[in-house]
Amino acid sequence: MAYLLMFVTLLHLITLAMLFIATMEKSWWVWDGMENSDLWYNCRFDNSTGTWLCASSKETEWLQAVQVLMVLSVVFSSVSFLVFLGQLFTMSKGGLFYFTGLCQVFAGLTAFCAALIYTLRNKDILPDSKELTSGQFGYCFILAWVCVPLLLCSGIIYIHLRKKE
């Protein structure tokens, strides 16, 4: 049982870190390595100065929906972890981690919705000046999709996890 508890805790921390990186990093869409777009900025690499020049993304309804859903996912997962730690030390023997599991499931569902909206509406979200066929999804977008099953699985494990000692 101790191994399961350590596994679930480690899985939770890994998915929380991945969610945070996917939300804050600047690589949801990449054009030839010299330009990229994320949930907050559109950036291009300036060869003469060797720096990234970033401007705020054009605020569309779809982009705001993805932003809100990804931030909610991070919040749900963070609350879930804090509640888990509280329950671990205060809950009586035999208690189940329902609230922790439900928060994780909600985090997975919000990340799913955000990644799905970005997948289906990237033409509306990305800047009009760039050709979409010359770019591809970046690693943060892939991280968001990887987090979805991990969050859902950890949520289900939390719901079935029972405090033994």
pLDDT in tens, 108-152: 999 999 999 999 988 888 766 566 667 888 889 999 999 999 999
Domain membership of residue 66 (yes or no) is yes
* Res. 162: pLDDT tops 90: no
pLDDT in tens, 92-119: 776 778 889 999 999 999 999 999 999 9
Q: Which residues of 76-113 are buried (b: 16+ CB within 10 A; e: fewer)?
A: bbbbbbebbeebeeeeeeeeebebbbbbbbbbbbbbbb
pLDDT in tens, 15-73: 999 999 999 987 888 887 778 888 888 888 888 888 888 888 888 899 899 999 999 99
Domain of 117: which CATH number? 1.20.140.150
In the block, which residue shows the tokens 């997948």?
A: 119
Domain membership of residue 154 (yes or no) is yes
Number of domains in the chain: 1
Helix (H, G, I), strand (E, B) or coil at 23: helix
Range of the domain at 146: 1-29+60-163
